[in-house]
Each structure stands twice: as C-alpha cells, then as structure tokens.
Structure 1
Amino acid sequence: MGINDNFRYLHIGLPEDVLRLKYFGDFAGADRAALRYLNAPNTPEPLKRCLTAQREMMARLPADYPLTRDTAIALAQSAAPDFTAEEFDALAAAGRIDWIYIQGVPHYFDRFFDSLCKTDAAYAARAGTSQLGADGSNAAREGGESRLDRVARLLAEKGELSARIRCRASLRLKDKTFRKGERVRAYLPLPCACDAQSELRIERISPEPAHISPENAPQRVVFWEERMEENHPFEVEFSYVRTARYTDLTRPGKNREESAYPPEEFLAEEPPHLLFTPYLRALTAELTADVEEPLEKARRIYDFVTLNVKYTYVRTYFGLENIAENCARSLVGDCGVMALLFITLCRCAGIPARWESGWKAEPGFCGAHDWAQFYIAPHGWLYADPSFGAGAVRERNEARRRFYFGNLDSYRMTANTAFQASFDVPQDHWRADPYDNQVGEMELEDRGLRYEEFERTKEVLAFTEM
C-alpha cells in the first residue's frame, strides 16, 4: 500500500479532541494530538491510516486560506475598486465566501473573488473579466451561435462529430525548488483509450527517454525520472481523434457494442468520498420516489444537481472531505464535486455510474475538467456533465442543460477513467491531487511537490474537424 492509499480511510473520522483543535484552526495542536494516537499501541489500524492522511491535510489547509478579512477585501478591491467592506460581510454571511478558522480567526479562500466573478456576471463586469470556463458558461461563440450550442445542433443533425486534436503539456520546477543533482520524477496526463477516443499518437517527448502508460491505464501518464543537472521543462505533444456520438433519449434505445466497462462493476461504494450515507440514501429515495424507469431516476438526479448546486471554485482536493455528501448539504461545488455527487446518487439508486476527467480542449482554450458516465440499457453508457448543465442554468439555456444529460460535446481529452487510481509507476510520496490527474505531478527524492512548487502548462495546438 502506497502513502496515498491512506486517503481510502479518510471517512473513518478523527477523534473528537483532534477534531475540535482542527476546527478551531490550531493545526499544530491537532497534529500533536494526532501523533499521540498514532503512537498509542491500542489505536486501530484504520484510524491510524485516517490520522496519517489528516496530518498532511492539516499541514496544507492554511495555504488555501491565506486571507484575513482586511486582505480579502483589499484583494477584491484591487480587481473591482468599488467593492466595499459591507459587501464582503454580506457575502460572507450569505455563505458565498469560503473560510476556515486559523487559531480561532476566520481566514478566507484565496480564490473567493475569482469564484464570484466566475458565477456572477455582475461581478465579472465590475472586474472586467470573462466568465468563460470549464463549466461551459459564457461559451465561446462562432458567428451568432455559441460553440457548444453549435456542436449540440450538429450532433442532433448528423449523429456523430469527430475532430483530430493536437495538444502540448509541460511541467517545470520553480527555480526556488530546483536543487542540482537531485532525483526528480515527473508525470503528465495523456489521452487514454475510451469509447470516444481513437488514433492516440505521441508526437513529441522532451527529454527522452520516458515511460508511456498503456493506452487503457485508468490514469494514463508519460513519466520521467532523472537526476537533474539543470532546470529544464518536461514536455509532451500528443494528438488523438475525439468522436462525439448523439443519443436521442426521446427514442427507444438500440443495443450498443459491449464496452470495456461492465456496468455491474460500477454500482458499489468507493471510500472515502463515494459513500451511501444515510442522508444520501434518503435524498436518493426522495428524488426517485414513484419512479421505476432507471433513465427517469438518473434524469431526476441530474436535475437535482444542475438546478440546485451552484458552481464555485473549491480548495485543492487534497483538503476535501466527504465530497459527495458535503455537496448535497452545502449545494456548492466545482465540476468534480458535482460529478461525484451525480455518480454517488446514481449508484445509490442502482444505476451504474463512473468517473471521467481530463481537459476541455477546444480552439483557443484548454482547461482541466471532470464529468461522468451512467449506464442505461439498452442505450449503454451515456454521458452526463453536471457542471456544464449548471452553467447552462445560469445562462438560462434549458436546451443546453438537457443536452448534457446523455450527451457530451467533442471538445474533450479523457486522461482518467477512474477516480483515486494509482499511476502505473506509483509515486513514492504524497501526490498534489491524490484522486485525479489533469495537470501533472512532480516529486523529489524526499517529498511530493505541491502545486505552488512547480509550473504547469497545457494548450491546444490544433483542432481539425473531420
């Protein structure tokens, strides 16, 4: 078992004395209390594994919440000079600004104002920013039609759309992190073999040699390991054919070819975040009451997520707990949080559902993104993108919201077909994201690197419709 597997025990929960210190924001005190349990001879092994993961989580949490009230207000005013302290307090009281205690004093999420601009056109206008992002909101336009609406229309007309997409991604240590002669390991995501992707090509790798995961790896990567004498980037260019196929859910389904993903394997809980808790069981029962057809059950779940959960940026996934259940309680989350809630509720309802993630990859834009698949016979595996559906709600585009229940656009790169899967060359130390891989990972001999310690790029070089 690798060190990142300790996260599989996160749902065990903390002893009350450790939890009180954590919630107060006395992370040093909570760490000392956790060590006391870890060193005790009668502490059960599952609790030890939970405590091991929690110690590292608590060490990282303050970095996501560096802002005091005064510095948070100043940050907002640097983008929107007319932003006021009273406005900040009202937003915080309304639950629109994420925060934690650090030594009993509220500290605020470093991306809170970006999140306001992302989800509220008025704030975006005041700050002079765009709402374009990985939930499809304010989608790029071609002529008078948004790019996403154009794809949905063409798919309905033609039944299938394909494009060859060429991309480039890179990693580089920040200069302050680099130490000459030290062993460095680097991982970058690659497109994997799945129902919508074919003709996978590695166009260029630098430096060579490098390890390439099998095409069917659940989290596919290119991997380097070397002792670095100079601080150079690790870079890969790849291309693939992405094919979107339209499913008209108003018509009877047709039997599809067998998939690499047997549906019966995607019905179970997967700790720590995909759990059938009493609340989620009750919610599922409420949403699917008096419904027999699996498709209609899935539709009601999708409607609940897209019509009620508000898109917001969240702290790094390393610090998240009870992802699906907390989303169902707070009704906020990003694309991955929404996808996990959809998957969990589907499985709770007896509908096979699974994870996919990678990039939104279109001309002029490339961003990390997560979505889901669910299985309905005889249609087979269908797509659902709850965050794109929620983005359509904000734009009052009901046709687009409905499209993303059952279908997906062709602007995608799938690198990961499983949540919380190991790389085929596992990391020795903590991953920056222990669950998913969209932007890459790096580690040194003695530790895994956090995102602030290395630079990452990703871009679409060419997008050719076929």
Structure 2
Amino acid sequence: MKNLIYISLLYVILSACASRQPARAYSWEEDLHQRLLTDFCLSESQVKDYIRKYIPDVTDEQMRRWEESKALECMLLDGEKRYFRNAGPNLFRIDSACYTIKVAKEGIVPTESEKVNQTHLPLVIEAVKKTGRTLVEPKRMRVTYTLTVDTNAVPAGEIVRCWLPYPRTDQARQQGVKLLHTSEADYQLSPASHPHSTLYMEKKAVMGEPTTFSETIEYVSYAEWHPLTPEEILPYDTTGTLYQTYTAERETHIRFSPRIRRLAANLTEGETNPLLKAQRIFRWVNSHFPWASAREYSTLENIPEYVLDNRHGDCGQVSLLFITLCRCSGIPAHFQSGFMMHPNGWNLHDWAEVYFEGVGWVPVDQSFGVPSFARTPEERMFFCGGIDSWRMIVNNDYSMPLIPEKKFPRSETVDFQRGEVEWEGGNLYFPQWSYRMQIEYVND
C-alpha cells in the first residue's frame, strides 16, 4: 500500500514538473507562422462579403487583379490562401477606383484627430509667431493604462511579467510626468534615457481570474512648431558622433538597398539644402503612399521595402521609409513613437525627428502628412517640422531591449506601445491579452 502511495505521489510531482515546462524548445519560425496565421485570418468569401457592401457584383477577376496590384493583401499559409484581417477596408483606401466608389457612397469623413487639428494647428502657428517660443499650447492629461491577461492564459501560481508604456521624461515637449498609482506596489521604471520608456511589474496568476496590471500617470504635452527657412540651416559637422550615428544604416529596417539609394538620389537631385531635401521626401511619401491598416511589424523583414512594394503604409511604416530616405540623403533622422491623444481619437502612433544644424531636432509626422484641411502653406507643411499637442512620447528608437530584458521575443519586435507580457512558459501574444486607456483632460 505504501509503495502504491509513493508511486502515486511521484507521478503527481513528475506531472506537475512537466506541466511547468514549455512543450518544446522555442522556435522563431513556428512563432512567426502563428503570428501570420493571426494576421491572415480571413477567407476569400469573408473578404468578398465586405467588398459587396460597395461593389455588389464583385467578380473573381477583380479579386485577382486587386491581389496582383497588392491592393488586396493575401498569402498562402498551410496550403490555403488567407487574407489579411483588414484586407477589405484597406482595399478602399489603397485602390483609387475603390476609394472613389466608397467616397461616392459615404463621403469623406474626417478623423477625430483631423477635427481637432483643424482648429488646433492655426492656434499653434499663431502662438509660436507671437511668443517666439517653439513649444506652445500645453495640454495636461491624466491617463490610466490597463493591460489585462486573459483568464487562465497562464497557469495558476506562475509569475506574469509585464511591461507597460510610460511617458518619457527626457523630452522637452513632454513635461511634469507624475506617477500617481500602480496596481502592484513593486515596480521598476526604465532609465530616462533608455530608448523604450517602460514601467515593469510582476504578478502571480490566479486560477479563474484575469491578471491585470495598471498605472495612472499625469503629464503635460506641448505642441512644437519650427517656422523653418533654408537660410537658417547650417552645414553639418559630418565628423561628429550625432551625424554619423543618425545617417547610418540601422538593423533591421533602415537599410540602404540599391532601390533606396536610387530613390533618395532621384528625390534630392540638384538640391543641397537639408531642409529642402527633407521637404521633398516628405511630400513624395505623402503623395504616393495612402494610409492603410498594417499587419504586425514583427512579420516584416524590412518595412520601407514593404511600403515600396505594396504602395501603402501605416504611421510607423511610412515614418521608417521617410527616416531611411533622409539618412540615405545625409539628413540625420530617428524613429519616435507612443500615442496620439486627441479627444475621442487616441491611438497608437509613430512619427520621426530630423536634425538640422543650427536648429536641432524637429518633429516630422509623415502619416499626418499634408492635411486635407490646410488653408495656408504653413499649415500644409506643419508636420514637416512640427507636431500637435496631443501626444504621449514613449520611444526614441525601435527594436531595443526592454528593461529588465525579456526572455522571449516581444509581441511587437519593432515598436513598443501596447505593452509586453510573458511568463516562464513563453511570450503572451496579443490575442491572449487586451489593453485600454482612460484619458482625463485636466484644466489647469
């Protein structure tokens, strides 16, 4: 009897130990495959159902033509043609004929950020001209950010490790950052100078309950605008560290391929002034690549090349194309990202900064581009040397290690905005958790 009890206990112990181990050694190839299956999750019939809202008699021939032009994104996975989760809506953003059909039916509906900026940008321009300061129109925001891991996504008793986005404290246009509350008493803030600004916490998973992490923060965000002229831009010190660092290639997405080199040379041909070069690149990207919902960056080998191949991009994708073309043209540039915080229109968002000798770093929001509502030359080029007040800056670069370092590859291997979560058994990918942001606009 005793032997039977001992054997039973041994079996329970061994089973418990086995359940704590990953089923197999980690493989990026398998991980990537699952990420692609998550993004490319629609059948042809599902995509056709969406398209029929605007084109009731859509044909197979039209489908093939849109696929060949890359306006309708799909790929072969496990022997099956699968469509990107936003392939239908993207078609009516990317293909000009489809765009016209949708506009004829629904009209052009401005985004919430466009509604805000239509009145906000003139105020920024006027304030800069009146005060002579480049930081104006401060907005104080109190933010509660919550990340919730699904119930039983992690075995009970296991430690869940979580990194939340945190406002940078080393940026002039983001001031007075205060941490008001955290869900866990113990937390770790990344150093102010680290490229990804994070708040790290740990918590044990409880059976039958979601695992929730939250932070409440307050900060003041300023608009920044530089009324730049070519004459004020000085020659670069090409031997300096700043210049050499921010005009260099950068793994994995800032690569000077032969196509990038030819394109940069063509766009800046005959021009030597860095400001005018940057403006040429900004206008060209704006006019050639409509915004479209993006597949996960971790599934792309090179983002600027993807934009050129597919003739569309979201905020981070067109920003990385702009940065790469600037660097290849001898203009220092780097990636910056976090959130757009416009009332009723907050979202993840990416932009850039470029460096002009004699002026310093200035913001460039390539995806906001040339606003359709712009009435003056200053408003049309506002986002090539300016940015609105409604931001949260989290990142000053991309694809850098987190602090403390993650043990498994990040869900978002390029950007860091939504947060990251893992446990000893592996990374927790986006379908296993959710996030939300509550914003209070505080009047001083």
TM-score range, shorter chain: 0.7 to 0.9
Matched, 1:195 2:159: no
2:45 maps to 1:65: no
**CA offsets 1:332-375 (integer angstroms, 9 cap, x no match):** 11100111111111111111101110000122332100000011
Q: Contact 1:117/1:129 (CA < 8 Å) preserved in 2?
A: no
Task: Tell me which of 420, 428, 431 is aligned to 2:407.
Answer: 428
Larger radius of gyration: 2
Cα distance, 1:148–1:83 mapped onto 2, change above 3 Å? farther
Which residue number in structure 1 is paired with residue 383 of structure 2? Answer: 404
- Which among 301, 304, 322 is matched to residue 324 of structure 1? 304
Q: Deviations over 1:379-420 (max 9, x none)?
A: 111111110006x25989875441111111111110000111
Contact 1:73–1:84 at 8 Å: present in 2 too? no
Give the partner amino acid of 1:419: Y
Identity among equivalent pairs (%): 27
SS at match of 2:81: strand
For these two proteins, the number of residue pairs brought into alignment is 402
Deviation at 1:194, TM superposition (A): 1.3
User: Once the two structures are superposed, what CA deviation does each residue of 1:31-82 show, in whole Å capped at 9, x if it has no partner?
Assistant: xxxxxxx9xxxxxxxxxxxx964443233212211112112122455xx376
Q: Deviations over 1:75-101 (max 9, x none)?
A: 455xx3764433656644543221111
3-state SS of 1:234 partner: strand
* Distance (whole Å) between structure 1 residues aligned to residue 387 and residue 54 of structure 2: 39
The partner residue of 1:276 within 249, 256, 264 is 256
Residue pair 1:118, 1:124 contacting (<8 A) in 2 also? no
Q: Secondary structure at the match of 1:375?
A: strand
Contact 1:121 1:131 (8 Å CA) reproduced: no
Name the counterpart of 1:179: 155
Q: Does 1:168 align with 2:137?
A: no
Q: Identify which of 206, 211, 214 aligns with 2:188.
A: 211
CA separation in 2, counterparts of 1:418 and 1:178?
31
Query: How far apart, CA to CA, are the structure 1 residues paired with 2:37 and 2:296?
Result: 11
1:384, 1:406 within 8 Å by CA — same for their partners in 2?
yes
- Which consecutive residues of structure 1, in runs of 5 or more, have no partner in the other structure? 1-37, 39-50, 256-260
Relative distance call for 1:84 and 1:315 in structure 2 (3 A) is farther
1:316-335 deviation digits (Å, cap 9, x = unpaired): 11101211122233321110
Contact 1:359 1:366 in 2 (8 A): yes
Superposed, which structure 2 residues align to 1:207-356 within 5 Å? Answer: 207-229=184-206, 230-250=209-229, 252-253=231-232, 262-356=242-336
Task: Give 1:442 deviation, angstroms.
Answer: 1.0
CA distance in structure 1 between the aligned counterparts of 2:261 and 2:57, rounded to whole angstroms: 42
Partner of 1:47: none
Return the letter of the residue paired with 1:422.
Answer: P
TM-score by length of 1: 0.78
Change (3 A) 1:328 1:367: same
**Equivalence map 1:56-95=2 (5 Å):** 56-76=31-51, 80=53, 83-86=56-59, 91-95=66-70
Q: Is contact 1:362-1:460 (8 Å) kept?
A: no
State the Cα distance separating 1:435 from its structure 2 match. 1.4
Cα distance between partner residues in 2 of 1:395 and 1:105: 45
324-333 or 265-274, which moves further after superposition?
324-333
Q: Secondary structure at the match of 1:388?
A: coil
2:349 is paired with a residue of what secondary structure?
A: strand
Within 2, Cα distance between the matches of 1:426 and 1:125?
Answer: 50
Contact 2:233-2:275 at 8 Å conserved across structures: no
Question: 1:426 is paired with a residue of what secondary structure?
Answer: coil
Structure 1 residues 353-432: aligned runs within 5 Å: 353-389=333-369, 392=371, 400-432=379-411
Would you say 1:443 and 2:418 are equivalent positions?
A: no
Residues 188-226 of structure 1: per-residue CA shift (max 9 Å, x gap)? 100012132121111111122221222222101111112
Q: Is the 8 A contact 2:333 2:353 kept in 1?
A: yes
State the one-letter code of the partner of 2:83: Y
Change (3 A) 1:60 1:162: same
Report the CA distance shift for 1:182/1:75 in structure 2 as closer, same or farther (over 3 A): farther
Alpha carbons of 1:397 and 1:116: their partners in 2 closer, same or farther (altered >3 Å)?
Answer: farther
Contact 2:181/2:215, CA 8 A, preserved across alignment: yes
Q: Which stretches in structure 2 are left out of the alignment for 5+ residues?
A: 1-24, 235-240
Q: Tell me if the contact between 1:124 and 1:131 (Cα under 8 Å) persists in the aligned partners.
A: no
TM-score calculated relative to the size of structure 2 = 0.82
Confirm or deny that 1:101 pairs with 2:73.
no
Amino acid at match of 2:423: L
| Alignment match, 1:123 | 102
* Cα distance in 2 for residues equivalent to 1:98 and 1:394: 30
**What is the Cα-based RMSD across aligned positions, in Å?**
3.0
1:153/1:68 Cα in 2 relative to 1: closer, same or farther (>3 Å)?
Answer: farther
- Tell me the distance in 2 between the aligned counterparts of 1:444 and 1:126: 48
1:227 to 1:176, Cα distance in 2 relative to 1, 3 A: closer
- SS for the counterpart of 1:283 is helix
Q: Residues 175 and 124 from structure 1, CA distance in 2 versus in 1: closer, same or farther, beyond 3 angstroms?
A: farther
